[in-house]
Chains A and B, each alone.
Chain A
Amino acid sequence: NAGVTQTPKFRILKIGQSMTLQCTQDMNHNYMYWYRQDPGMGLKLIYYSVGAGITDKGEVPNGYNVSRSTTEDFPLRLELAAPSQTSVYFCASSYGSPNEKLFFGSGTQLSVL
């Protein structure tokens, strides 16, 4: 049982480049989330989805876009990468409402230079 799978694990981008962080889960979870974690800090919610076709902004959505065409996949798109987007990105999922256990992926370490 794979759980939540994120790719890539590491990536270096130049300022202004774009990329997509992939996230897929095989637990048939309805809710999916994208968090970013800056060094020594907590998790900040970027976007979340309550089901296929439904997405909404979190605390720090600027500079990012998401889509949820299937229950399994929740990619995060970075447009025009900036140094402020250097961070570790975690995808997570939960079966039901947000007050249920979150399952996290292993993270993507992104550097924008």
Chain B
Amino acid sequence: QQPVQSPQAVILREGEDAVINCSSSKALYSVHWYRQKHGEAPVFLMILLKGGEQKGHEKISASFNEKKQQSSLYLTASQLSYSGTYFCGTEGTSGSRLTFGEGTQLTVNP
């Protein structure tokens, strides 16, 4: 089952914060986050394995709540370079294929 991302789109001013959510109807082993700029390939941000860990990448961090079967991506003090579409990919059991959400389009304006 495809994970559900929310919101579908968000517009920020530079320096503002945002949260992107990824929810699944089934148990999860891992959650992956990727960012895709317009016309380019997706680029890896981070992987979270079950255990509720939180990871960070520059001013972008994420959490994984396996009981709630959801992950959240936190973008702090957003920069213009953060603009793009953010995808979560979920893995139900170890070794299963990733299933990607439909993406959240993030626009950061000056």
A residues touching B (Cβ–Cβ < 8 Å)? 40-45, 48, 58-59, 90, 97-107
A-B complex: 10 closest residue pairs judged by Cβ atoms: A104-B41, A42-B100, A43-B100, A42-B102, A101-B44, A99-B30, A104-B42, A106-B41, A99-B91, A42-B101
* Cross-chain contact B42 with A90 (CB below 8 angstroms): yes
List 27 interface pairs A-B (beta carbons < 8 Å), by A numbering: A40-B102, A40-B103, A41-B102, A41-B103, A42-B103, A43-B42, A43-B89, A44-B100, A45-B99, A59-B99, A90-B41, A90-B42, A98-B95, A98-B96, A98-B98, A99-B29, A99-B30, A99-B49, A99-B94, A100-B47, A102-B34, A102-B98, A103-B44, A104-B41, A105-B41, A106-B41, A107-B41
Is B40's beta carbon under 8 Å from chain A? Answer: yes
* Cross-chain contact A97 with B95 (CB below 8 angstroms): yes
Residue in chain A with minimal CB distance to B102:
A42
Closest beta carbon of chain B to A61's beta carbon, Å: 12
Closest beta carbon of chain B to A97's beta carbon, Å: 6
B residues touching A (Cβ–Cβ < 8 Å)? 2, 29-30, 32, 34, 40-44, 47, 49, 87, 89, 91, 94-103
List the B side residues contacting A104 at CB < 8 Å.
41-43
* Cross-chain contact B98 with A45 (CB below 8 angstroms): yes
